[in-house]
Structure 1
Amino acid sequence: MVLNWQMVGAMVLPNIGGWAGALSMIGEVTSADGNAWYERLRKPTWTPPNWVFGPTWVILYTAMGYASYLIYEDCGGFTDEAVIPLGLYGVQLLLNWFWTPVFFKLHQMGWAFLQMCILDGVTMACIASFFDINKMAAAYMVPYLGWLAFASCLNYSFWMMNREDIEKMPLK
């Protein structure tokens, strides 16, 4: 059995960006003294525990990467047919990666929410373009879109619950 390095690369690439984004959260989510920025925020009761996010993103990023690989293969590589779906995939991936530092490092919940709304739209367009080429690839992206919808609601709730205190919180 020969290992398909293109497939592995497609599945690892989204995770690399996710891991890089996670580095921007160091010192912002938890701290020994309980005084990290995220710890001080008011949160909706339906906020998942912190440990849920890492495994969820690994699964979602891996599925997204596999979906992009299916499109790449079905289009015969980076052909004219692949430009729009893989371009949309790349744009939504970049928007995804940059959301974390905007929210956690810069503490810009409103801008993060706007970015998330744009990300939601680009992801829907990406899924639609995948569907025209490979329905299974589109299906691999649907759980991600569901998580984005949940994350959008969560981001909005954080913003609304903390907007009056944001100006009072130091950036460090």
Structure 2
Amino acid sequence: MTEIASASDRSGSVLRWAFITVPIVVIIGLASGWASGSGGDGVWFANLVKPGIYPPAYLFGIVWTILYILMGFALAFVLAAPANPFKRFALIVFAVQLIVNALWSPIFFGAHLIGFAFFWILMLIVLVMATMAYFARISRTAMLLMVPYLAWICFAAVLNLRFWQLN
């Protein structure tokens, strides 16, 4: 006899997964920024003309940390969900978008390829939307946890474009 897991069983499973997924996603994201020297401290970035919509530099670390935590929880919801024909592909697309995300900082801050970074972030937006579409087929909560991330990278794409235009 097979039984469907109760809501409390699933929530416990989500928390167990989150203890693994949240730190992994946060570490990947923060390591990318650290390794590429991202932020306003570098001489190259400090000398760029900043767009008028550029927020205070301290906000980036706060926002990205929150977004990585939300992404880690979204991943936990998917991993804790019952078997689903879309689950494997959803996990693959999530991993690919996380890799693409992690490579944006080295492209922009490390290699100083502002124009290429803009096209890279457009690819990231498409991958995040694909991730959300697959997550929605598995867990509505997981998909909703990705909404702030999508909104922020859309804003980041506009910022990236303005940096490219001004510099």
Query: Taking structure 1 as the reference length, what is the TM-score of the superposition?
Result: 0.83
Partner in structure 2 of residue 61 of structure 1 = 68
The one of 7, 19, 42 equivalent to 2:18 is: 7
Distance in 2 between residues matched to 1:52 and 1:27, nearest whole Å: 13
Paired residue type of 2:69: T
- Asked whether the 8 Å contact 1:28–1:105 carries over to 2, the reply is no
Q: Does 1:95 align with 2:119?
A: no
119 and 8 in structure 1: CA distance in 2 versus 1, 3 angstrom threshold = same
Superposed displacement of residue 28, structure 1: 6.7
Partner in structure 1 of residue 46 of structure 2 = 39
Superposed displacement of residue 29, structure 1: 3.0
- Asked whether the 8 Å contact 1:24–1:104 carries over to 2, the reply is no
Paired residue type of 1:145: L
Distance in 1 between residues matched to 2:161 and 2:85, nearest whole Å: 38
134 and 27 in structure 1: CA distance in 2 versus 1, 3 angstrom threshold = closer
The one of 48, 53, 57 equivalent to 1:50 is: 57
Distance in 1 between residues matched to 2:90 and 2:76, nearest whole Å: 11
Query: Matched residue pairs, number?
Result: 156
Partner in structure 2 of residue 72 of structure 1 = 79
Superposed displacement of residue 62, structure 1: 0.5
Superposed displacement of residue 94, structure 1: 0.5
Partner in structure 2 of residue 131 of structure 1 = 136
Partner in structure 1 of residue 3 of structure 2 = none
- Asked whether the 8 Å contact 1:28–1:37 carries over to 2, the reply is no
3-state SS of 2:137 partner = helix
Superposed displacement of residue 122, structure 1: 0.6
3-state SS of 2:146 partner = helix
- Asked whether the 8 Å contact 1:67–1:140 carries over to 2, the reply is yes
Partner in structure 1 of residue 28 of structure 2 = 17
Distance in 2 between residues matched to 1:129 and 1:146, nearest whole Å: 18
- Asked whether the 8 Å contact 2:51–2:163 carries over to 1, the reply is yes
Question: Once structures 1 and 2 are overlaid, which stretch shifts more, 12-21 or 49-58?
Answer: 12-21
Distance in 1 between residues matched to 2:38 and 2:102, nearest whole Å: 18
Superposed displacement of residue 22, structure 1: 1.9
Superposed displacement of residue 107, structure 1: 0.2
Superposed displacement of residue 81, structure 1: 3.6
Paired residue type of 1:107: H
RMSD: 2.1
Superposed displacement of residue 26, structure 1: 3.2
Question: Once structures 1 and 2 are overlaid, which stretch shifts more, 40-49 or 67-76?
Answer: 67-76
Distance in 1 between residues matched to 2:155 and 2:135, nearest whole Å: 22
3-state SS of 1:122 partner = helix
Superposed displacement of residue 30, structure 1: 1.5
Distance in 2 between residues matched to 1:6 and 1:128, nearest whole Å: 21
- Asked whether the 8 Å contact 1:74–1:133 carries over to 2, the reply is yes
Partner in structure 1 of residue 40 of structure 2 = 29
